Structure 1
Amino acid sequence: MGSIHQPNLPVIEFSAKQSNATSSSWATKCVEVTRALEEYGCFILTYDGVSQEQHDAIFLASQELFDLPSEVKVLVTSDTPSFGYDAKYPVIPLYEALCIENATTKHGVERIRKLLWPSGKDSFSENVLMYTNAIGELYRTVTRMIGKSYGVEEHYEPLLESSSYVLKLIKYKSPQGNDRKMGIVPHTDKSFVSILHQNEVKGLEIKTKDGEWIEVDPSPSSFLVIAGDACMAWTNGKIEPSCHRVMMQGNTDRYSLGLFTFIRDLKVETPQELVDENHPQQYKAFDHYKYLHYHATDGLKLKFPLKSYCGI
């Protein structure tokens, strides 16, 4: 029998020094990033801008947060669906998540810290802010690269100025044993772009356009950049979000972090440069936060919620 070909996700290397538009490799990297997103809806980014110490500190902070009693964690609430504390879904019993809105700002992080540790825990805020600001910089770089590749540079600055950042801390309880259990159901992200980072426990899988599942190997310096629904609308369908899931196995809990970006106070609108007779406009301009509310109610059961919300 011949061996089964296991596809690999594209791996793109970023260095904190290089991630500016003046470096010689910039134009090549822009094409590389955009092609990976067009082909897979995601790519693995190896990045030296988060040190091993920062990696360890943020995952320790996450562990301490999930060790808090449930009655403390439920104090974190939000007006936006699933932006508070999320747990106890019968269909995914291993999953637990807590979101920090405005996660690149001291005010946003301190609001959550005061709810969880009223008597203080400054190290939590410091570690979160150091991490979110490093990853926020990555998001801005990737968005500029997409804009550069498509020749729509003037459109990405307003987009970046209107981006809000949500840090989602996620814990998947171990299923205790060798049976594979669902950590989170297959889904696409509703964000503009998501950047995921995991501890050393495997489980994250990406679905290719051919329907195969690829397991993502975790490492402290690797991040998974995933296009969300809003990125698909902005690029007029050139980039489609990747479907992903988490499958758990073994006796070790899995911790993961996601920095999700959403567009606030500006409609997500396809630049006219990306529309022509061969590529007619696919989506009407829409309010990203209203879409999140729609998805949490009417759109939850739909296969293509964005299409039914604002498709043309």
Structure 2
Amino acid sequence: MGSQSQPKIPVIDMSNESLKPGTSTWLSTCKEIRHAFEQIGCFEAIYREVPLELHNNVFATAAELFDLPNEIKMKNKSTKTYFDYFGQYASLPLYESLAIDNPTSLESTQSFTTLMWPAEIKAFGEILSTYS
């Protein structure tokens, strides 16, 4: 029986200065992204404008978020079904998703944060406010 190799996650550099809408660089990057989503389902984006400390804090907080008890994550409800908590399905055992309805609204993000971390809201809020 042959072994099946794991697909390699594509790495796409989004910090190229010539990456402007309509340019050939833009169009080729769009094709790379589409191909990555169609073939693998994801890609790693390199964007050097994001400070490493912010990157590390966001990923650490995301890990903390998904480590919360399922009862807390299931409180994430929305008027739009696709923003609800999605997880704990036998057919997708390693998949979970959470979303913030209207994520560009401070009120919406604070509401989500309070829902997920009622006692620890300051720590998460401080991370975000440091970089805004």
TM superposition score category, shorter chain reference: 0.5 to 0.7
Q: Which has the higher contact order (CA 8 A, sep 6+)?
A: 1
Give the structure with the larger strand fraction: 1
What whole-Å deviation, never above 9, does each CA across 1:125-163 have from its counterpart, x for those lacking one? 3435677x7xxxxxxxxxxxxxxxxxxxxxxxxxxxxxx
Counterpart of 2:94 in 1: which secondary structure? strand
User: In structure 1, what is the equivalent of residue 105 of structure 2?
Assistant: 105
Once residues 46 and 71 of structure 2 are traced to their aligned partners in structure 1, the CA distance between those partners, rounded to angstroms, is 38
Structure 1's 119 and 45: CA in aligned 2 closer, same or farther, altered over 3 A?
A: closer
1:111 counterpart letter in structure 2: S
Structure 1 residue 87: Cα displacement: 0.7
Give the structure with the larger helix fraction: 2
Q: Which has the larger radius of gyration?
A: 1
User: In structure 2, what is the equivalent of residue 178 of structure 1?
Assistant: none
User: In structure 2, what is the equivalent of residue 122 of structure 1?
Assistant: 122
User: Does 2:32 correspond to 1:31?
Assistant: no
What whole-Å deviation, never above 9, does each CA across 1:82-111 have from its counterpart, x for those lacking one? 212111122111111211222233212101
RMSD: 3.2
1:105 counterpart letter in structure 2: S
Question: Structure 2 length as normaliser, TM-score?
Answer: 0.68
Unmatched 5+ stretches in structure 2: 1-8, 37-43
User: In structure 1, what is the equivalent of residue 15 of structure 2?
Assistant: 14
Structure 1's 84 and 52: CA in aligned 2 closer, same or farther, altered over 3 A?
A: same
Once residues 83 and 113 of structure 1 are traced to their aligned partners in structure 2, the CA distance between those partners, rounded to angstroms, is 14
* Identity fraction in percent: 28
User: In structure 2, what is the equivalent of residue 238 of structure 1?
Assistant: none
Structure 1 residue 40: Cα displacement: 5.7
User: In structure 1, what is the equivalent of residue 63 of structure 2?
Assistant: 63
User: In structure 2, what is the equivalent of residue 47 of structure 1?
Assistant: 47
Once residues 49 and 98 of structure 1 are traced to their aligned partners in structure 2, the CA distance between those partners, rounded to angstroms, is 25
Once residues 81 and 109 of structure 1 are traced to their aligned partners in structure 2, the CA distance between those partners, rounded to angstroms, is 17
Once residues 113 and 51 of structure 2 are traced to their aligned partners in structure 1, the CA distance between those partners, rounded to angstroms, is 23
Once residues 85 and 73 of structure 1 are traced to their aligned partners in structure 2, the CA distance between those partners, rounded to angstroms, is 6
What whole-Å deviation, never above 9, does each CA across 1:44-85 have from its counterpart, x for those lacking one? 653111111111101111122122211111111112122121
Unmatched 5+ stretches in structure 1: 1-7, 19-24, 134-312
Question: Structure 1 length as normaliser, TM-score?
Answer: 0.32
What whole-Å deviation, never above 9, does each CA across 1:152-202 have from its counterpart, x for those lacking one? xxxxxxxxxxxxxxxxxxxxxxxxxxxxxxxxxxxxxxxxxxxxxxxxxxx
Once residues 22 and 130 of structure 2 are traced to their aligned partners in structure 1, the CA distance between those partners, rounded to angstroms, is 25
User: In structure 1, what is the equivalent of residue 84 of structure 2?
Assistant: 84
